[in-house]
Amino acid sequence: MGMRIGQGVDAHCFVSGRPLVLGGVRIEHAQGLAAHSDGDVVIHALCDALLGAAALGDIGRHFPDDEDQYAGIDSRLLLRRVMAVLRERGLGVGNVDLTVIAQRPRLAPYIAAMTQALAGELHCPAERVSVKATTTERMGFTGRGEGIAAMAVVLLDET
Ligand code: MG
């Protein structure tokens, strides 16, 4: 078999009074994302892609959003648990390609920090982690600034 591909998608809406965290990095913005966890939509999409590649369900199955233990949780901890599950099954990350869809804030200044943070969690070199950001030209819920969406594609290697 050798390699396994997975994809993940997530979206959360903006709310006031919460910090904005994307890809494990704190982003300067007036609003954060509503969620049971810290709302890191990038890590959620990434976790779903990793679990999908392993055919192990999704983030909601592994970390139910009605369980108190996950309230406000740092999503990097969820990613660490997903990586531990993959490691048990002899699966490592080949490469990752992420797209963050947001009209605002401007994410270019944070891309390098997100790449480094995620590569560390994925136990792979930063050259194998791609983080991209796009707007939707003011169309749709992201374009109107109602929230942020993220898409992830990963390739896993069977080690
Ligand atoms: Mg989510």
- Give the pLDDT confidence of 70-101 residue by residue, as tens digits: 888 999 999 999 999 999 999 999 999 999 99
Distance in Å, CA 1 to ligand 1 centroid: 30
Distance in Å, CA 136 to ligand 1 centroid: 20
- Give the pLDDT confidence of 17-50 residue by residue, as tens digits: 999 999 999 999 999 999 999 999 999 999 999 9
Distance in Å, CA 51 to ligand 1 centroid: 14
pLDDT for residue 1 is more than 80: no
- Rounded Cα distance between 57 and 20, Å, is 27
Question: pLDDT: is 110 or 68 the higher one?
Answer: 110
Pull the structure tokens for residue 129.
Answer: 């982690």
Distance in Å, CA 4 to ligand 1 centroid: 23
Distance in Å, CA 133 to ligand 1 centroid: 17
What DSSP string runs through 11-68?
A: EEEEEETS-EEETTEEE--SEEE--SS---HHHHHHHHHHHHHTT---HHHHS-TT-G
Distance in Å, CA 98 to ligand 1 centroid: 15
Of residues 62, 76, 70, 59, the one with CA closest to residue 22:
76
DSSP collapsed to 3 states, 68-82? HHHCCCCHHHHHHHH
Distance in Å, CA 34 to ligand 1 centroid: 9
Give me the pLDDT at residue 64, please: 86
Distance in Å, CA 44 to ligand 1 centroid: 5
Distance in Å, CA 152 to ligand 1 centroid: 13
Q: How many helices (H) and strands (E) does the chain have?
A: 5, 7
In this prediction, what percent of the chain has a pLDDT beyond 90? 90
Pull the structure tokens for residue 92.
Answer: 């490592």
Give me the pLDDT at residue 67, please: 87
Domains of the chain: 3-158 (3.30.1330.50)
Give me the pLDDT at residue 81, please: 97
